[in-house]
Amino acid sequence: MDLLQLLISGLANGCVYGLIGLGFVLIYKATESVNFAQGDMMMLGAFITLGLTNQSYVGLPFWLAVILAIVIMGILGYLLEVVFIRPMFGQSQIAVVILTIAIGFVARFVAGLIWGHEPQSLENPFVGKDVGFGGLVLGLDEVVIIGTTLALTGGLYLFFAYTRIGLAMQAASQNQLAAYYMGIPVKRIHSLVWALAGALAAIAGVLFASKGAIDPSTGLLGIKAFAAAIIGGFGSLPGALLGGLVVGLIEPLSSRYVAAGVSQIMPYLMLLLVLILRPHGLLSQVKAKKV
Amino acid sequence: MGEPLLKIDNLESYYGPIMAIRGVSLEVNEGQIVTVLGANGAGKTTLMKTICGVMDPEKGTVKLNGQEIQGQDPDFSVRHGIVQVPEGREIFPLMSVEDNLRMGAFTRKDRSNIAADIEMVYGYFPILKERAQQDAGTLSGGQQQMLAIGRGLMAKPKIMLLDEPSLGLSPLLTKEIFAIVKRLNKEQKVTMLVVEQNAKIALDTAHYGYVMELGRIVMGGPAEKLRESKDIQEFYLGQRSEGERAQRRWKNRKTWR
Ligand SMILES: Nc1ncnc2c1ncn2[C@@H]1O[C@H](COP(=O)(O)OP(=O)(O)OP(=O)(O)O)[C@@H](O)[C@H]1O
Ligand SMILES: [Mg+2]
């Protein structure tokens, strides 16, 4: 039972990594550059929710705060693309990557200014509650995290497979030139992808904050999620989730069965291993183009 | 005859400092199939890109039904009835054949007619119906060309720009594709502007033709006239009249400059 609880808690952590990883992969697939501010966007999403709902700040109802934070982060993602990323079109990938790193710094700085650098907890309806599943006692927060991630995954799948905009996002990421030729407004699609990544970051942030305290440097977790996404296969959305789950599980298991400190480096050891054995990640999506 | 459907005047496009098309003018009347012949690097693809808005011209105008459209984004041109079937197919490799077709209809407002039009495309290309749920990247080159044409049709274009549809296809399949182009022109009333290197089949299919060289139009006329022209016969149809000296070529070449 103890081990099972450990696994569930690892899985819940993994879900958060996976959701941040989804944001990385979404933007990467659409624009072929990596948004290193993805983790910081998650942190901002968490702090916006905290600022809106905690009694010491605005004190709105929790769910209202969550919805507002998702909307605000969606708009922020959209604007980041329009104001900073789009003008860089045609520049080298490295320039874009450095720009996103800078955006991350600014996000941490601004969060520090508004909410301070002390760790704070998000007041939420799940904290400290348990649910029992036939003898197995799980934290409600963990159940909520896993459930939300499952629902989001299903929702995203339906979105990409069946909606006109979702299909257009796929199309633009598979063949940008052809998307132009078909009259798909590729630039607007890119902005929408950033908006989606922002909204996802907000959800990941709320889930993360429902488990523990956050501070402005929480977003550095994004690096681990990035590694996890590469482990899973950076070009693939299911891969990003899988990578997150693998890392989430590996951490508690390695600190239990190997040594306490090892869990810190395990994700990166795994990363090296995967890169050597399966350079495109566990679920790679590489197919050659004909003629 | 009224105004041409597509009228291009003095168009110039650059890649950085390189001038790829140098003052091209041509006309396409409604209901016609018009072909543009030219060797590699003549600027045919650049011309097509400039017409549909993927590239902006430095000078000149592109008029569709009298309205200037040069320099607009491609989604504007597609909405106004110009669709491009690009060189090298450019399908969406990881999407199903049917989703590729759906993406062709992205700009359309009459969503309810899309399913019927997908069936119309399948009517012309039955093999696509067989492969409807297969990833488009796994189709053969010829099937991908059919998909690219079908995807273009889904936009309900007034005029379709076909960039080297015969590229990489067997002579038999090339014939099939051109036969379908002809049928689409007749039955679906799609005006066609076809860029080709295969002059024979292009001139057999088209009503009117132009020859492009080094970014310029050097010759234009009804297809049957071009077929008879000695220059075209020598340079594009690979025929040489017996007993003529090789240097004749150079002499004749001058006539198109
Ligand atoms: N992206 C580019 N950057 C710089 N020059 C280019 C680019 N694309 C084409 N060119 C140049 O512009 C000229 C015209 O090219 P274009 O692709 O239009 O020729 P084409 O007639 O379509 O040839 P082909 O029959 O081989 O497809 C060529 O000299 C080519 O080298
Ligand atoms: Mg070309």
Domain boundaries, chain B: 6-251
Give the ligand at the shortest distance from the Cα of B21: 1
* Nearest CA, atom 14, ligand 1: B43
* pLDDT, position A284: 67
Cβ B43 under 6 angstroms from ligand 1: yes
Q: Is the pTM of this model over 0.80?
A: yes
- What is the predicted pLDDT for the residue at B129? 98
Residue spans of the domains in chain A: they are 12-219
Name the closest ligand to CA B41: 1
Residue of A nearest to B143 (CA): A290
Look at residue B152 and tell me whether its pLDDT is greater than 70.
yes
Atom of ligand 1 at shortest range from CA of B16: 4
* Ligand 1 atom at shortest distance from the alpha carbon of B47: 18
CA-to-CA dists, residue B77 to A172, B71, B208, B218, angstroms: 18, 10, 23, 27
Architecture category of domain B6-251 in CATH: 3-Layer(aba) Sandwich (3.40)
Helix axes A237-257, A2-31, angle to 10 degrees: 150
**pLDDT tens for each residue of A236-285:** 889 999 999 999 999 999 888 888 888 888 888 888 988 888 877 787 65
Has residue B130 got a pLDDT over 80? yes
The pLDDT, as a whole number, for residue A135 is: 77
Grade residue B240 by pLDDT with cuts at 50, 70 and 90.
low
CA distances to B4, B7, B210 from B27, rounded to whole Å, are 6, 5, 10
Is A183 close to B75, i.e. CB distance below 8 A? yes
Give residue B248's pLDDT band: very low, low, confident or very high (50, 70, 90).
very low
**Which pLDDT score, from 0 to 100, does residue A274 have?**
86
Our answer on whether the CB atom of B20 is closer than 6 Å to any ligand 1 atom is: yes
Mean pLDDT in runs of 10 for chain A (291 residues)? 85 95 92 92 98 96 98 98 91 90 96 96 90 84 94 94 94 94 94 97 97 93 92 88 94 86 86 86 57 36
> Which ranges in A91-217 belong to alpha helices (H)?
93-115, 140-162, 164-174, 176-181, 186-211
Mean pLDDT of B108-130: 96
pLDDT at B234 over 80: no
Q: How far apart are CA B115 and CA B154, in angstroms?
A: 10
Asked if A181 and B84 come within 8 Å (Cβ–Cβ), the reply is: yes
Ligand 1 mutation target, pool B45, B47, B87, most atoms within 8 A of CB: B45
Mean of pLDDT values over B82-92? 95
Inter-chain CB proximity A182 and B103 less than 8 Å: yes
The dihedral formed by the CA atoms of B126, B127, B131 and B136, expressed in degrees to the nearest 10:
-110
DSSP bridge pairs for B193: B34, B161
